[in-house]
Structure 1
């Protein structure tokens, strides 16, 4: 399946190559911007809502760390090292393939954004799936790398966020009382 996808990718127009290459990282920046908007929306709401927004990126980092540990254990070579022509340059030899970190981060960000702002689900989950697929499309991951990374991000990031939200919520309440204009005498 990997070879079929990469061969197909090579027949697509150049603008799609650029979109696939740049789009994955641009999508990650879009998720960062959505977290900022979600924080702005939750700023005056219940403390738990803002705590979920804050805990989301922590969950993504947790899922990413787990994926990095898995990479060092599995040590699967990138498929692009097999002499196959791909859309992008193959990463260095010590940059392992399984699981896909881009997929972990995209799925984790989407899943934790949905925890904080459910109305985004229709947009962020398909975007994360397209971002994950692009890693196969450009030739740097096998499909199973992307599926595993997606599942790791989709499950571990929101689970971690939900586990720590109880600890973050009191910190949000405390910060709000310290930043309150009434408390500062304004």
Structure 2
């Protein structure tokens, strides 16, 4: 199938909230001093969510195996939510705003026609991190939520997604990541308990191994 045919067959989401999209991209046009920081953040900002998960793991080392299981489940939950979003993206096949609304002000370059818009993968990662950390550390989850809101806004600001792409990502990612974490907490805690007695113990707990004293 040619590129032109792919573009024609893609769903046009501009009729849902195209006016809101252009309002935000017009704001981007009027705040050009913010264009570069937003363009950098929208991609590199994902590293913040990885750092928050590492912080959750480090904190869990001072707690029990059940908590450590939730910490280790966090990246798995995020990957699961992202995979689900990719499936939905292929099924919906919504054209990017740069193709449906080419006259809008766009900060970011237009991706390939097969790189669809709904839902936003970046926002999926952010929202999934919020849900995964919620079971582990509410403070880290709240911090992730703040950065996630900025991430979602940046996806529309740079012109990569419609607002409904971002909202759809949140609606999808929160339950998928949360339920994945709950399931792994239940099923994988015995495995973490077993690993905690082996060579991986320093990665799973901050407590030193107890050495049995010989009887006198």
1:27 to 36, 39, 45: 45
Q: How far has the Cα of 1:156 moved from its partner? A: 1.1
Contact kept in structure 1, 2:73 and 2:184, CA below 8 Å: yes
Could you list the structure 1 runs, at least 4 aligned residues long, displaced by more than 4 angstroms after superposition: none
Larger of the two Rg values belongs to structure: 2
2:73 matched to 1:55?
yes
Could you say which residue in structure 1 is the equivalent of 2:188?
168
1:80 to 90, 93, 98: 98
When you count helix as a share of all residues, which structure comes out higher?
A: 1
Q: Quick one: distance in 2 between partners of 1:146 and 1:104?
A: 8
CA RMSD of aligned residues (A): 1.8
Could you say which residue in structure 1 is the equivalent of 2:28?
9
Q: Output the TM-score relative to the length of structure 1.
A: 0.92
Contact kept in structure 1, 2:52 and 2:144, CA below 8 Å: no
Note closer, same or farther for the CA distance 1:27–1:110 as it changes in structure 2 (3 Å cut). farther
Aligned length: 184
**Structure 1 stretches of 5 or more lacking a match?**
none
Q: Output the TM-score relative to the length of structure 2.
A: 0.80
Contact kept in structure 2, 1:104 and 1:151, CA below 8 Å: no
Q: How far has the Cα of 1:182 moved from its partner? A: 4.5
Could you say which residue in structure 2 is the equivalent of 1:118?
138
Q: How far has the Cα of 1:99 moved from its partner? A: 0.7
SS at match of 1:177: coil
Could you say which residue in structure 2 is the equivalent of 1:145?
165
